[in-house]
């Protein structure tokens, strides 16, 4: 074969190789482009929602109860007795799912609706911003920081007895619209915490009682509420708290109530200590409410009257649980005793002095599920302006199941 023929074959081979390589490069370029687009899309999705940054949770609680009650009302020397019993009555039934949504590492949204057998309401609905260690900023419909019962002990699976302490729970109204700053920091071997809110406050009713102003305030002044807590021991077994609330309650459009203000104070104590083999818990709170003196109108005849509008209430509670007992049945039992008082203004339409004593035996199915048996005795003497001295004595038996979901 001639040299010319060999050269022609070599040229054809080089062209073929070059063409094949060009095709392979074009194919590879197409694959790389598709892979790049896919990786870019995945990176976009990852940057939009990182694992652990957002989280949604549904928790909450439910309480179901039975109560049998005997009430004796004595007035003018005559007595009237009534007896009732009820499954899941309004005072001892609650279904409250709580929705929590954590948005990133700084924001938490809380919403807790509640059904009590008669109506559907909302316990709180707010957003919290974790600004810094020891600083949380909250806004919305929040639990005001007055005392410690409403914020820490009111849940059925935490409360040691089937009922709330009279005059302490919900006095003042537990929740309000506003903003709040809370937190806590070390103080040497001790610890302290703070909680301050600015809310719409309350409004004064024609009979001298208070109720929440709601989402629209009835005056231009806002209510300031704050609680300061001190844990003096390094093991945090004891907490002492002091609270104050100050704000206007009179309607700006009212002639008689305009400018009327209220001031409230509370002190509380929470002590939990293991004296092996028994766990002892002591809790208590005292509330005092003062409302500026003003004039009210009697609904019976329209005449004007006035009174010192001061209200006080307290409860003291102790419970013991033999957590160190050998028997599982015994170690899951807990006994609780509570005494309380609620005294409203003398010569008001709703004046009374109520004294209560309540005892209970609890069985803890687990740390957040409890079955309670309770007995309550209450005596209430009227202090109302037009009442001759009515006395009401009530005796109640309770069976209650509570669980935190």
Pull the structure tokens for residue 163. 């009922």
Look at residue 39 in the predicted model and tell me its pLDDT.
60
Look at residue 18 in the predicted model and tell me its pLDDT.
47
The Cα angle at residue 44 between residues 42 and 49, in degrees rounded to 5: 95
Q: Could you give the CA distance from residue 287 to residue 340 in angstroms, rounded to a whole number?
A: 11
Q: Count of residues for the chain?
A: 405
Look at residue 35 in the predicted model and tell me its pLDDT.
59
Look at residue 139 in the predicted model and tell me its pLDDT.
98
Q: Alpha carbon of 223 to those of 146, 197, 245, 247, 389: distances in Å?
A: 12, 8, 7, 4, 36
- Minimal CA–CA distance to 295: which of 284, 277, 307? 307
DSSP per-residue letters across 308-348: -EEEEEEEEEEEEE-TT-SSHHHHTEEEEEEEEEEE--TTS
Give the pLDDT band (50/70/90) at residue 25. very low
Look at residue 36 in the predicted model and tell me its pLDDT.
61
Is a pLDDT exceeding 80 seen at residue 352? yes
Look at residue 48 in the predicted model and tell me its pLDDT.
53
Is a pLDDT exceeding 90 seen at residue 342? yes
Mean pLDDT of 317-345: 96
Is a pLDDT exceeding 70 seen at residue 23? no
Q: Could you give the CA distance from residue 338 to residue 360 in angstroms, rounded to a whole number?
A: 9
Min mean pLDDT across 21-35, 115-129, 153-167 is at 21-35
Mean pLDDT of 208-223: 90
Half-sphere exposure of residue 66, counting CA atoms within 13 Å on the CB side? 3
Q: Could you give the CA distance from residue 213 to residue 219 in angstroms, rounded to a whole number?
A: 9
Q: 3-class DSSP state for residue 174?
A: coil
- Phi, psi torsion values for 92, nearest 5 degrees: -130, 25
Helix (H) or strand (E) holding 164: none
Query: What are the tens digits of pLDDT across the range 135-183?
Result: 999 999 999 999 999 999 988 889 999 999 988 887 899 999 999 999 9
Bond prior to 296 in cis (omega within 30° of 0): no
Contact 64, 88 (CB under 8 A): yes
Query: What are the tens digits of pLDDT across the range 275-286?
Result: 999 999 999 999
Instruction: Indicate the CATH number of 62-95+120-404 among 3.40.640.10, 2.40.160.10, 3.40.720.10, 1.10.1740.10.
Output: 2.40.160.10
Min mean pLDDT across 109-118, 205-214, 252-261 is at 252-261
Look at residue 29 in the predicted model and tell me its pLDDT.
47
Helix (H) or strand (E) holding 42: helix 3-48
Mean pLDDT, the chain, whole residue set: 87
Q: Could you give the CA distance from residue 348 to residue 204 in angstroms, rounded to a whole number?
A: 14
Look at residue 90 in the predicted model and tell me its pLDDT.
62
Look at residue 43 in the predicted model and tell me its pLDDT.
57
Is a pLDDT exceeding 60 seen at residue 323? yes
Q: Alpha carbon of 153 to those of 20, 111, 148, 351, 381: distances in Å?
A: 80, 18, 7, 27, 28
Query: What are the tens digits of pLDDT across the range 63-106?
Result: 999 999 999 999 988 999 999 999 977 667 889 999 999 988 89
Pull the structure tokens for residue 74. 């004595």
- Minimal CA–CA distance to 296: which of 220, 338, 253, 347? 347
Query: What are the tens digits of pLDDT across the range 195-212?
Result: 999 999 999 999 999 999
- Decide which of 248 and 34 is more confident: 248
Q: Could you give the CA distance from residue 261 to residue 39 in angstroms, rounded to a whole number?
A: 64
- Considering the chain, what percentage of its residues have pLDDT values greater than 70? 86
Look at residue 20 in the predicted model and tell me its pLDDT.
45
Mean pLDDT of 295-304: 84
Q: Could you give the CA distance from residue 262 to residue 246 in angstroms, rounded to a whole number?
A: 6
- Phi, psi torsion values for 13, nearest 5 degrees: -65, -40
- Minimal CA–CA distance to 403: which of 144, 146, 97? 97
């Amino acid at each position: 074969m001639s040299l010319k023929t060999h050269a022609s074959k070599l040229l054809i081979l080089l062209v073929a190789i070059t063409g094949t390589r060009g095709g392979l490069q074009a194919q590879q370029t197409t694959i790389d482009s598709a892979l790049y687009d896919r990786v870019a899309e995945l990176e976009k999705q990852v940057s939009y929602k990182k694992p652990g940054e957002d989280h949604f949770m549904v928790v909450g609680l439910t309480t179901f109860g039975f109560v049998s009650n005997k009430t004796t009302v004595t007035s003018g020397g005559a007595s009237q007795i009534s007896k009732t019993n009820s499954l899941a009555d309004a005072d001892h039934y609650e279904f409250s799912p709580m929705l929590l949504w954590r948005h990133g590492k700084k924001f938490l949204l809380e919403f807790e609706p509640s059904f009590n057998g008669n109506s559907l309401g909302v316990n709180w609905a707010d957003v919290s911003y974790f600004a810094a260690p020891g600083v949380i900023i909250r806004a919305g419909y929040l639990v005001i920081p007055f005392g410690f019962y409403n914020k820490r002990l009111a849940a059925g699976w935490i409360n040691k007895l089937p009922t709330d302490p009279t005059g302490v729970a919900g006095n003042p109204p537990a929740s309000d619209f506003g903003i709040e700053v809370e937190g806590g920091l070390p103080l040497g071997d001790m610890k302290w915490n703070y909680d301050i809110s600015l809310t719409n406050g309350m409004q004064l009713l024609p009979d001298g009682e208070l109720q929440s102003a709601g989402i629209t305030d009835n005056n231009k002044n806002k209510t300031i509420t704050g609680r300061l807590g001190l844990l003096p021991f390094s093991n945090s077994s004891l907490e002492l708290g002091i609270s104050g609330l100050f704000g206007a309650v009179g309607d700006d459009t009212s002639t008689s109530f305009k400018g009327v203000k209220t001031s409230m104070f509370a002190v509380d104590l929470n002590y939990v200590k293991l004296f092996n083999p028994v766990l002892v818990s002591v809790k208590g709170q005292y509330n005092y409410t003062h409302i500026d003196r003003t004039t009210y109108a009697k609904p019976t005849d329209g005449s004007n009257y006035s009174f010192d509008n001061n209200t006080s209430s307290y409860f003291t509670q102790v419970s013991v649980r033999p957590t160190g007992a050998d028997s599982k049945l015994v170690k899951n039992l807990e006994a609780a005793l509570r005494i309380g008082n609620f005294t409203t203004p003398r010569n008001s339409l709703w004046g009374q002095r109520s004294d209560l004593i309540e005892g209970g035996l609890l069985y803890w199915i687990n740390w957040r599920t409890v079955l309670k048996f309770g007995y309550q005795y209450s005596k209430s003497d009227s202090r109302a302006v037009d009442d001759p001295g009515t006395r009401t004595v009530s005796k109640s038996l309770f069976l209650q199941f509570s669980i935190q979901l």
